[in-house]
A and B are shown apart, each in its own frame.
Chain A
Amino acid sequence: MKSFIPVLFAILLAACSWILVRAPYATSTSQDRLQLSTGWADESSCIQCHTEAKTFSKTGHARTMHTAGHSDLQPLIQLMRETPAFSQDGLSIESRGSDLRVQRRDGESFNDVTLNWCLGSGDHARTWIGTLHDSDGTTNLLEFRWTWYRELQEFGVTPGQPDEPGQGYYSHLGVLFDHPKARRCLGCHSTRLPIDAGQIQEHQIQAGVNCQRCHGPRQSHVASDGEIREQFWSSASRDEQVARCAECHRHPDEQDPRTVRRDNPDIVRFQPIGLAQSACFQKSQMTCTTCHDPHRSLAEQQSKSIGQCLQCHDGATADRPGCGLGKTEDCLSCHMPKVKMDRPVHFTDHWIRVRDEANSP
Chain B
Amino acid sequence: MMRRPPAIDVGVALISVCLILGKLAQSSFHSGLALLPPPVTGLLEQPAWHVPLSEVLELTPGSAIALSIAFGAIVSTMLIRTALSRESWEQLPIIAGFSLLLHPAEILCGLCLILVTRVREAPDSIFRSWKLVGVAILASLITLEFGLIFALVLTTILSAFKEQGSGVSLRQAVPAIAFLALMCGAIVFLPGFGPALARPVSWIWLRPPEEMAASLTPFGGAISNWILVLFVAIPLGIASRSDYSRRHVFIGLGTVWFALLSERYAATALSILLLSSPVQAPTKLNSQSMNRLMIAGVVFAALFGLHSVGWTTILAGQPAPRFVDPTRWDSQGAVVLLNLDRAEEWQTPAYRKKFSLLEDDRWDAWPGNMHEFYSFCDDLRAVRDNRYLRSDGTWGGYLPELKRWSPALLVIESREVESIRQLSLSPDWRVMGIDGGQTIFGRVGDPRNASQMRHALECLMTLEWPARLDQFSLDNTLMSGNSEDDLAVAGALCSLRFPYAALRFSRYDKSHPTLRARCLLELAHRVASHSSAGSLLDQYRAVLAVRHALSVLPRNSSESTSLKRGLEGVLKRTKEQSEKSPENERVLVTAVLTGDSKTVQNELKQLNSPVQDFYHLILRSPDLSPEQLVAEFENVIPRLEGNLPSRGLSEVQFYLGCAALEAGQLETAIPAFVKSAETDPDSPFREIRQLYLQQLRR
**A residues lining the B interface (CB < 8 Å):** 1-2, 4-5, 8-9, 12, 15-16, 19-20, 24-28, 30-34, 36, 106-112, 114, 132-138, 167-170, 178-180, 184, 187, 197-199, 232, 243-244, 246-247, 250-251, 253-254
B518-534 contacts to A, CB under 8 A, are 518, 521-522, 524-526, 529-532
Given B525, B532, B562, which contacts A109 in the complex, CB threshold below 8 Å?
B532
A32 touches B396 (CB 8 A): yes
How far is the CB of B364 from the nearest CB of chain A, in Å?
12
Given B400, B426, B532, B691, which contacts A111 in the complex, CB threshold below 8 Å?
B532
B392 touches A167 (CB 8 A): no
Complex: how many Å from CA A114 to CA B573? 10
Which A residues touch B572, using CB under 8 A?
133
Q: Given A15-B257, A109-B684, do A137 and B566 touch, yes or no (CB 8 Å)?
A: yes
Which B residues touch A27, using CB under 8 A?
208-209, 371, 374
Complex: how many Å from CA A254 to CA B404? 12
Given A24, A107, A169, which contacts B688 in the complex, CB threshold below 8 Å?
A169
User: Considering only CB atoms, which chain A residue lies closest to B569 in the complex?
Assistant: A133
Which A residues touch B518, using CB under 8 A?
135
A169 touches B394 (CB 8 A): no
Q: Given A136-B565, A137-B568, do A28 and B683 touch, yes or no (CB 8 Å)?
A: no
Which B residues touch A24, using CB under 8 A?
207-210, 217
How far is the CB of A41 from the nearest CB of chain B, in Å?
15
Known: A8-B249, A169-B530. 13 other contacts (CB 8 A): A1-B246, A26-B369, A26-B370, A28-B392, A32-B390, A32-B391, A32-B396, A110-B532, A137-B564, A180-B383, A198-B418, A251-B386, A254-B386
B683 touches A109 (CB 8 A): yes
A-B contact pairs, 10 of them (CB 8 A): A15-B257, A16-B260, A26-B369, A32-B390, A109-B683, A135-B524, A169-B687, A187-B388, A247-B388, A253-B399
How far is the CB of B496 from the nearest CB of chain A, in Å?
12
How far is the CB of B269 from the nearest CB of chain A, in Å?
13
A33 touches B566 (CB 8 A): no
Which A residues touch B573, using CB under 8 A?
133
B223 CB–A CB distance under 8 Å: no
Complex: how many Å from CA A16 to CA B260? 8
User: Residue among A34, A106, A138, A184 with the most chain B CB within 10 A?
Assistant: A138
B300 CB–A CB distance under 8 Å: no
**B residues lining the A interface (CB < 8 Å):** 204-210, 217-219, 240-241, 246, 249-250, 253, 256-257, 260-261, 369-371, 374-375, 378, 382-397, 399-400, 403, 418, 421-422, 425-426, 497, 518, 521-522, 524-526, 529-532, 558, 561-562, 564-566, 568-570, 572-573, 576, 580, 682-684, 686-688, 690-691
Which A residues touch B421, using CB under 8 A?
136
B390 touches A168 (CB 8 A): no
Q: Given A106-B682, A109-B532, do A254 and B399 touch, yes or no (CB 8 Å)?
A: yes
A30 touches B565 (CB 8 A): no
Which B residues touch A108, using CB under 8 A?
682
Which A residues touch B257, using CB under 8 A?
12, 15-16
Which A residues touch B397, using CB under 8 A?
254
A244 touches B389 (CB 8 A): yes
Q: Given A109-B684, A169-B688, do A135 and B403 touch, yes or no (CB 8 Å)?
A: no
Complex: how many Å from CA A135 to CA B395? 31
Which B residues touch A254, using CB under 8 A?
385-387, 397, 399-400
Given B386, B388, B425, B690, which contacts A179 in the complex, CB threshold below 8 Å?
B425
How far is the CB of B240 from the nearest CB of chain A, in Å?
5
Q: Given A24-B208, A28-B390, A134-B525, do A253 and B400 touch, yes or no (CB 8 Å)?
A: yes
A251 touches B387 (CB 8 A): yes
B530 touches A168 (CB 8 A): yes
B371 touches A20 (CB 8 A): no
User: Considering only CB atoms, which chain B residue lies closest to A25 in the complex?
Assistant: B206
Given B261, B382, B391, which contacts A16 in the complex, CB threshold below 8 Å?
B261
How far is the CB of B333 from the nearest CB of chain A, in Å?
19
How far is the CB of A209 from the nearest CB of chain B, in Å?
13
User: Residue among A24, A184, A197, A247 with the most chain B CB within 10 A?
Assistant: A24
Chain B, interface SS category = helix
Q: Which 5 A-B pairs have the closest CB atoms?
A: A137-B565, A133-B569, A135-B525, A26-B371, A30-B392
Complex: how many Å from CA A19 to CA B201? 12
Given A2, A135, A251, A253, which contacts B522 in the complex, CB threshold below 8 Å?
A135
A168 touches B218 (CB 8 A): no
B691 touches A168 (CB 8 A): yes
Complex: how many Å from CA A137 to CA B388? 23
A107 touches B208 (CB 8 A): no
How far is the CB of A185 from the nearest CB of chain B, in Å?
11
B396 touches A12 (CB 8 A): no
Which B residues touch A199, using CB under 8 A?
565
Which A residues touch B691, using CB under 8 A?
168
Given B253, B392, B566, which contacts A133 in the complex, CB threshold below 8 Å?
B566
Complex: how many Å from CA A254 to CA B1? 73
B388 touches A16 (CB 8 A): no
Complex: how many Å from CA A247 to CA B257? 47
How far is the CB of B545 from the nearest CB of chain A, in Å?
13
User: Residue among A12, A32, A107, A250 with the most chain B CB within 10 A?
Assistant: A32
Complex: how many Å from CA A66 to CA B421? 30
Which A residues touch B395, using CB under 8 A?
243
Q: Given A24-B207, A109-B686, A197-B558, do A133 and B568 touch, yes or no (CB 8 Å)?
A: yes
Which A residues touch B684, using CB under 8 A?
109
Given B217, B378, B529, which contacts A28 in the complex, CB threshold below 8 Å?
B378
Q: Given A32-B390, A180-B425, do A168 and B399 touch, yes or no (CB 8 Å)?
A: no
Which A residues touch B568, using CB under 8 A?
133, 137
A243 touches B207 (CB 8 A): no
Which B residues touch A36, using CB under 8 A?
391
Complex: how many Å from CA A28 to CA B369? 11
User: Residue among B257, B374, B403, B688 with the most chain A CB within 10 A?
Assistant: B257
Complex: how many Å from CA A184 to CA B383? 10
A136 touches B390 (CB 8 A): no
How far is the CB of A354 from the nearest CB of chain B, in Å?
31
How far is the CB of B204 from the nearest CB of chain A, in Å?
7
Given A19, A134, A136, A250, which contacts B218 in the complex, CB threshold below 8 Å?
A19
Which A residues touch B389, using CB under 8 A?
32-33, 244, 247
Complex: how many Å from CA A246 to CA B397? 13
How far is the CB of B396 from the nearest CB of chain A, in Å?
7
User: Considering only CB atoms, which chain B residue lies closest to A4 in the complex?
Assistant: B246
B387 touches A112 (CB 8 A): no
B566 touches A135 (CB 8 A): yes
A135 touches B569 (CB 8 A): yes
Which B residues touch A244, using CB under 8 A?
389
How far is the CB of B617 from the nearest CB of chain A, in Å?
25
Which B residues touch A26, using CB under 8 A?
206, 208, 369-371, 374
Which A residues touch B207, using CB under 8 A?
24-25
Which B residues touch A132, using CB under 8 A?
529, 569
User: Considering only CB atoms, which chain A residue lies closest to B216 in the complex?
Assistant: A24
User: Considering only CB atoms, which chain B residue lies closest to A110 in the complex?
Assistant: B532
Complex: how many Å from CA A214 to CA B490? 44
Which A residues touch B382, using CB under 8 A?
180
B371 touches A5 (CB 8 A): no
B261 touches A19 (CB 8 A): yes
Which A residues touch B250, using CB under 8 A?
8
Which A residues touch B570, using CB under 8 A?
133, 135
Which A residues touch B249, using CB under 8 A?
1, 5, 8
A25 touches B205 (CB 8 A): yes
Which A residues touch B682, using CB under 8 A?
106-109
Which B residues touch A19, using CB under 8 A?
204, 218, 261
How far is the CB of B587 from the nearest CB of chain A, in Å?
21
Complex: how many Å from CA A133 to CA B524? 13
Which B residues touch A243, using CB under 8 A?
387, 395
Complex: how many Å from CA A112 to CA B531? 9
User: Considering only CB atoms, which chain B residue lies closest to A12 in the complex?
Assistant: B257
Which A residues touch B521, using CB under 8 A?
135
User: Considering only CB atoms, which chain A residue lies closest to B426 in the complex?
Assistant: A180
User: Considering only CB atoms, which chain A residue lies closest to B212 in the complex?
Assistant: A24
